[in-house]
Each structure stands twice: as C-alpha cells, then as structure tokens.
Structure 1
Amino acid sequence: MEAIFWGCFVGGALYAIISALLGDLIGHALGGILDFLSLDGHPWMNPTTLVGGITAFGGAGLLLMHYTAIGAIIVLLLAIISGVLIGGGGYFLYVKPMSESENSIALSEKDLTGKIAEVLTAIPAIGYGEVLVKVGAGNTNQIAASFDKEAIPGGTRVVIVEVKDSTLYVSKLDPY
C-alpha cells in the first residue's frame, strides 16, 4: 500500500514540476492530443484537478500510514476522501473561476458613454471623424459622429453621448 501512496505522491509532484516548467512546450508539441482529458460533459476531468487529487491521495495516505495507528482500510478510505476533497477544491477554487474569467483586454463600447474624449479628426455636421478616448491606463481611437448634427473641429473636447453601431456619438463639452 505504501508503494501506491509513494507512486501517486511522487508522480503528481513530478507532473506539477514538469508542467510548470515545460507545459506550453509539451502542449504545443503534442498538438492537442490530450484535449480529451477535459471532456465537455465533465469539466472537472482536467489534468489540474485529476493530478491534484491523485497527489493529495498519495500524500494523505503516507501521512496517515506513518503518523496514525488506524488500520490500512481506514487509511485507504481517508486518503481517497482527501484526494476527492483536494481535487474538488482545486476545481472549484482555481480551475472553474479561471475558465470563467475574462481573458480579453478589449473594451466594451457601451462603457464609453459619458466619457470625455478629444477630437483627432474633425467631425463634420453629417459624417464621421475620429476621437481619442482615455481608457484605463491607455488610449483608444474610435470613429465618431456629431450627436447634435453640428461640425466639431479637431482638438475640441467632447463627451460621448451614446454608442450605436460601433460609432461614438459625441457633443461638444460645455466648459462651464
């Protein structure tokens, strides 16, 4: 029984070290061959969750065997429970939140309503120009049209009134 616990613990630890150091390299080399491990019907079936649970099973089994006086069957059951709890905890605390996280730095155009911008390319009364909008730590250039149907010269500060069809409709910012 001890050999099984050691095998699971050492195998899991080696997997963690190798995947941390060479994970992307191995993943690209294999070209998605191991994608079957994350089945659509069973998202918990991914390497992080499974190997984490197997490693916890091995570690818990070793600790329980060496530091308690309980029988081998109880040690095995407690090690299995530990592996399931640690693997499940890894899934719910790390894998699932990361899979649902936003992985794009793109901005939402709807969030631009009410922001102040500067006209880069003059906006005619009927037609389009370009504005520079500060977003977070950076800037973005966007196509703009006059909300009030009046010409707005370059360099003018404007406020974004609405966003429709990827066009920002702007009005001159009243300096008062």
Structure 2
Amino acid sequence: MNLQLIYWGCLIGGVIFTLLIILLGDLLAGIMDGLLEIGFPIFQPITLVGAVTVFGGTGLILDRINSLAGTSVLLGALLAAVLSFVFLYAFYVRPMKSAENSTGFRLADLEGKKGEVTVTIPARGFGEVVILTVGGKTNQIAASMDQTEIPQGTTVVVITVKDHILYVSPHPSLKGD
C-alpha cells in the first residue's frame, strides 16, 4: 500500500473534519463526547483530529523533501503527530477547560451583597437595584426590608430574597447620613 495515499487521506480527512467542526460544532461535539468517553481527558476531538492532520501533512512534506526511506518518513510523521497531540492538549485544551466558568448566579447568592438603588424604592412597593456579580452588573427588583423609602443612589445591602425580589436595607455605614 502506498504511504502517500494514507498521508493524503489523513490530511484531507483532518481538514474536512475541521471544517465540519466549524460548521456543525455543537452537534459533532455531542456525538464525539459520547464516542470518546475513554476515561482519559487528553483524548479530545481537537487533539485527535489535529494529530491525524499533522501526521498526514508531515508525511507528505517529509516524503517530498527527503530522500529517506518510507519507514523513516513514517516515523517522522508519527513523531510530529504525537508532539502536536501533546502540544494541542497542553496549550489549548487544558487552558480552555480551566477557563470555563459560568457567569450565571442564583438570586440567593446575592444575600449580603452591596448594591445601589437605581429606581427609588417606595416604603411599600418595588424599585430597582444594581449589584455587581461575577458576570457583570445585574439589575433586580427590590423592596425595602424596613418598609421605608430608599432614594435612588443609596448604597444598600441585600438582606434576603423572597419570590425573586431582593429585600434590601440601606448600608449600615450610611445610616444617619
């Protein structure tokens, strides 16, 4: 069997699979996750496809520019594939997994947080506060815990959350101002 056919097949197959990942990423990711549940986190679609593509490309390049025997070209292509596999995991997959964090939060997580009144909270009614969270600023409906009016611009503390409403009080250091 001609090794050049194998190299071309790996290179073309890798490029096609990469294009499919770009176009149908979420669908293919779900399928590949199920197929690749080997138990080793290093086996990711990007590392496997990258290694196969590098194997094919390196094999073709080494075959053209060197007068090496077929076995030497094959070993060089395998070495390049293994190195690309390791580098892709170490410098792309692992850092991306570490970077995955959610910007979501639960309303209950806001208890004890400071915020600022953006819409005056009447003594018996609702206003709005803005609070800084992990994902940025969030505006939430708020009511006065003490049933006193809290004017716009006042710094408040979330005392409790009930029925998706934040019950707030003016920040203790600002009482009496």
Aligned to 2:87: 89
Cα offset, 1:164, TM superposition = 6.0
Q: Percent same amino acid among aligned pairs?
A: 29
State the TM-score, normalizing by the size of structure 2: 0.69
AA at the equivalent of 1:5:
Y
2: CA distance, partners of 1:62 / 1:112: 63
Q: How does 1:19-58 map to 2 (within 5 A)?
A: 19-24=21-26, 26-27=27-28, 32-39=30-37, 41-58=39-56
Q: CA separation of 1:59/1:27 partners in 2, compared to 1, >3 Å: closer, same or farther? A: closer
Give SS of 2:99's match: coil
Question: Are 1:17 and 2:19 matched, yes or no?
Answer: yes
Aligned to 1:141: 140
1: CA distance, partners of 2:38 / 2:91: 19
Question: Which shifted more, 55-64 or 114-123?
Answer: 114-123
8 Å contact kept, 1:116–1:160? yes
8 Å contact kept, 1:162–1:169? yes
State the TM-score, normalizing by the size of structure 1: 0.69
Aligned to 1:157: 153
Q: CA separation of 1:9/1:163 partners in 2, compared to 1, >3 Å: closer, same or farther? A: farther
1: CA distance, partners of 2:86 / 2:112: 40
8 Å contact kept, 1:118–1:156? yes
1: CA distance, partners of 2:39 / 2:110: 34
Cα offset, 1:53, TM superposition = 0.6
8 Å contact kept, 2:8–2:56? yes
Matched residue count: 166
8 Å contact kept, 1:38–1:44? no
2: CA distance, partners of 1:129 / 1:157: 15
Question: Which shifted more, 81-90 or 150-159?
Answer: 150-159
Q: CA separation of 1:131/1:155 partners in 2, compared to 1, >3 Å: closer, same or farther? A: same
Cα offset, 1:40, TM superposition = 6.0
Question: Which shifted more, 166-175 or 92-101?
Answer: 166-175
8 Å contact kept, 2:11–2:54? yes
Of 34, 59, 62 in structure 2, the residue corresponding to residue 61 of structure 1 is 59
- Cα RMSD over matched residues? 3.6
Cα offset, 1:137, TM superposition = 6.8
Cα offset, 1:160, TM superposition = 3.8
2: CA distance, partners of 1:40 / 1:101: 23
